[in-house]
Amino acid sequence: MSTYLVPDQTTSHHRTAINGENQIPKEEEEAYNKLHEKLDGILATMPKDKGWRSQNIFLYKDFWLSSGVIKGLLMIHDYFQPQPTDIFLAAFMKCGTTWLKALMFATANRNRFKFSDHPLNRTGPQSAFPFLDTHIYLDYPVTKFDHLPSPRLFATHFAHSLLPTSMTSPSSTAKFVYVCRDPKDAFISKWHFMSKLRSKELTPISFNEAYDLFCNGISEYGPFWDHVLGYWKASRESPEKILFLKYEDMKREPSMELKKLAAFMGMPFTAAEEEGGVVEEIVKLCSFENLSNLQVNKDGGGAQKFTAQVVVENHDFFRKGNVGDWENYLTEEMRNRIDSITETKLKGSGLTLGLTKKT
């Protein structure tokens, strides 16, 4: 079974068919096979470039994606049925998904679990709710997510424009929480992470090469700036549908940002909860210090299966958790290049990102 449900949450059967265990409906299997043919056809015609983890990534509708997540995207379009109460956590890679996963899960379930014996402390945030991009197909042939409690929570790295309008249109009541980060820190974090995941059969990707690719927008789910701008513009148009957060603000004022998050999710903290210290309890539970020291997040403590080939140790989602670590890696020239791309790309949007010194 997939590991995305915290054990206490529900143990009920949450997929339609599992190899051999259940009968896979014939039509579903045929549709799945057709989708694979479609994927092969699409990949054969798409521009490709160097992947950071795998050999190649493909330019699909203006964003660079691995073949695995393109399959996930096609499936989201073909099979995923959003519910009006769904809340999606969206982010470019390495911008705060792990942290927000913990915060959103703890906030949504704050009346179900005791902080002294919280399931997040046993399972870690990765298992709290599904990563839509790959969990949609992890349970062969298609996961329907029927048994997730309401509101269903999902994470995705897909750009706003790639997702189906059933999820993104302002008329759908499903919500998005988007978290972004200084691109310099996102780059450093991504280089460390992807270097670990990179297939040992491929030559390692050097720091300078990754830097150039990143600046040119070529990295999984990139270009970074287009990703951020898509959600930023949508959040300006429909602030009730998309909450736009910054990692740096959350580091500076976690309680304030958490209150914003809870109100947006439709679950504002009551005066009694605030007086009772619930906000601080959640901040503490979800802090880098607490989560990174859990047994399940230590080296060898547990892992997440994203595809048949990609299994990531929980430990690898925690590195330093700081703002401004880029200063330890980038030369003045490198920093200026990223900052000037950011300035040019975001010009006139009303958004600023990462142009200030370390906080």
Kindly list the catalytic residues: 157
Residue partners of 83: CB distance under 8 A and separation at least 6: 150, 152, 174
Q: Which is nearer to ligand PAP, 32 or 88 (CB)?
A: 88
Q: Which is nearer to ligand PAP, 110 or 157 (CB)?
A: 157
- Are the CB atoms for 332 and 303 separated by under 8 Å? no
Q: Which is nearer to ligand PAP, 15 or 190 (CB)?
A: 190
Binding interface with ligand PAP (CB under 6 A): 91, 93-99, 185, 189, 192-193, 286-288, 291, 317-321, 325
Q: Which is nearer to ligand PAP, 304 or 342 (CB)?
A: 304
Query: Each residue of 8-41: b (16+ CB within 10 Å) or e?
Result: ebeeeebbbbeeeeeebeeeeeeebeebeeebee
CB of 318 to ligand PAP, least distance (A): 5
CB of 104 to ligand PAP, least distance (A): 12
Q: Which is nearer to ligand PAP, 147 or 192 (CB)?
A: 192
CB of 83 to ligand PAP, least distance (A): 23
Nearest 10 degrees: CA dihedral of 106, 111, 117, 118?
-20
Closest alpha carbon to 259 in 251, 269, 272:
269
CB of 227 to ligand PAP, least distance (A): 12
CB of 184 to ligand PAP, least distance (A): 10
CB of 338 to ligand PAP, least distance (A): 15
State the DSSP H helix or E strand holding residue 153, giving kind and residue range, or none if neither.
strand 153-156
Q: Which three-class secondary structure state does DSSP give residue 238?
A: coil
275: exposed, middle or buried (Cβ count in 10 Å: 0-12, 13-18, 19+): exposed
Residue 48: CB atoms within 10 Å: 13
Cα-Cα-Cα-Cα dihedral sign, residues 45, 217, 194, 306: negative
Q: Which is nearer to ligand PAP, 67 or 189 (CB)?
A: 189
The tokens for 242 are 């998309």
Q: Which residues pair with 314 in a beta bridge?
A: none
